Amino acid sequence: MVPEALELSLVIPTFNQRTRTIRSAQEAERWLQARLGKGGEIIVVDDGSTAVPVLDAGDLPAGVQLVRHPKNLGKGGAVRTGVDRARGAYIVFTDSDLPFSLDPLPTTLAWLRDGADIVIGDRLHPKSDAAVQAGTLRKLSSVFYTWLVHHALGLDFADTQCGYKGYRADIARALYGALEVTRFALRSSSASKAKLVTSSAP
């Protein structure tokens, strides 16, 4: 039997964040049911968590998929696994604490439906407003790393490291299937000519 096609696959990578991930999965499931009904799915990828108790499928809402890595592969490896399992025409990943809430999803889907290949959240956008505030040290390190990547690679996008991105499924599979580095800094062996849209997050 051929699986029913879906519009959206929401991938949530997590590592040693059981309580936070349960809460986020519940919130995301309510959102998807209200907005897309059976047209969406949630895939939680536990990237080799070591904290006890470990996240179990029974902790998550019915229908939410849990994939567990036997060892930690890094965020890129977790997202790659989620992308590989995804059935949606569009794939969005976000961090396990839903730092930008789910508010950007309708706009992300609208842009992807309208022909964008990739939608990148932008924490530096004037209208961005994180639902979860980071500490001072994390903010400073994030700003420095974002500046370094932007200037070292000469990219036209101010914030490539935001933990919120949406893709057409074929683009996501091409990019994540070619990953050579799967830790926090992701690197792919193939370049994709994709039409990018930068959004505020949210």
Tell me how long the chain is: 202
Give me the tens of pLDDT residue by residue for the chain, a chain 202 residues long. Answer: 445 679 999 999 999 999 999 999 999 999 999 999 999 999 999 999 999 999 999 999 999 999 999 999 998 899 999 999 999 999 999 999 998 889 999 999 999 999 999 998 765 554 545 554 555 665 565 555 555 555 655 556 555 667 789 999 999 999 998 877 665 555 444 444 445 554 544 4
Contact present, 100 and 121 (Cβ < 8 Å): yes
CB-based contact 166:91 (threshold 8 Å): yes
pLDDT digits (tens, 9 = 90+) for 3-26: 567 999 999 999 999 999 999 999
Token pair listed for 133: 């505030």
For the chain, which domains are there?
6-200 (3.90.550.10)
pTM: 0.78
pLDDT given for residue 107 in this prediction? 94
- 147 touches 158 (CB < 8 A): no
Alpha-carbon distance of 79 to 75, in angstroms, equals 6
Do residues 98 and 131 lie in contact, with contact meaning Cβ atoms separated by under 8 Å?
Answer: yes
- Which residues does residue 12 pair with via DSSP β-bridges, in sequence order? 44
Phi first, then psi: give them for residue 151, nearest 5 degrees: -80, -35
pLDDT at residue 189 in the model: 46
Residue in 27, 60, 62 with CA at minimum distance from that of residue 44: 60
Q: What is residue 192's predicted lDDT score, i.e. its pLDDT? A: 45
pLDDT of residue 23: 97
